[in-house]
Amino acid sequence: MLKLGVNIDHVATLREARYRGQIRGEPSPVEAALVCERAGAHGITAHLREDRRHILDRDVRELRERISTRFNLEMAIAPEIIALALSLKPDIVCLVPEKRQELTTEGGLDVVGQEAALKEVCSRFRDAGIEVSLFIAPDPLQISASARVGAQFVELHTGAYAEHFHQKLERNAEIERLVSGAEQAYELGLQVNAGHGLNLENLPLLHVVPHMVELNIGHSLVSRAVFVGLERAVKEMLGVMNGYPG
């Protein structure tokens, strides 16, 4: 069964637009996470950025205490965030690149260029009993490096696929890259997640990508929830995911 991890960052973005710097505010990303769980989500994802633009330290601590599904903490390999993650002990961390000026994570992690540092970080998390996923482009060199550094998962960046979804040739090329990347990762002993830019329209074609364990989806779910509510938005996404052959 293909699992759904709901990224709640954009709920926090809406809160911070009105209540930044205040102790309380709405909507609560933690309450949103609980709604997603009740709707059938298999896990909750939150990205604690260095600039704390949306998710805050108090959010991740409360999430760790209150959610009952798998907690995935997205993070850069910044010492402060690493220390917090080691104390918090999420079920899994997803290491991502992070640039202050970007609106959202724009590209995959350069594992090849940071292999020594990532190997050390993966070792620290492994010793703490925390699984590690690396958010990478479906590139053969990056996938091979991900296996070498000791990650258990890769999350294949589907942003280019989503961006070119309405351009058939480019879209099909991206699907081929994702299929090849998933097969390579599986052969190397890595488990395969995917995410970025996925929605109800473009997700069905990804059923051809083999070996996927979980999809991490956020913005499209929160956007859809504006019109139909978060519980229904999650159930609709789960419906589209149903029947994935694996």
What are the catalytic residues?
Answer: 47, 74, 196
Indicate the helix (H) or strand (E) that contains 12: helix 9-19
Is the distance from CB of 77 to CB of 121 less than 8 angstroms? yes
Q: Which residues contact 187 (CB under 8 A, 6 or more apart)?
A: none
Report phi then psi at 154, rounded to 5.
-120, 145
Report phi then psi at 6, rounded to 5.
-95, 125
User: Residue type at 181?
Assistant: G
Q: CA dihedral in degrees (72, 78, 80, 85; nearest 10)?
A: 20
Residue 197, token pair as written in the block: 């830019």
Report phi then psi at 133, rounded to 5.
-120, 145
Is the distance from CB of 216 to CB of 184 less than 8 angstroms? no
Q: Minimal CA–CA distance to 185: which of 141, 216, 215, 217?
A: 141
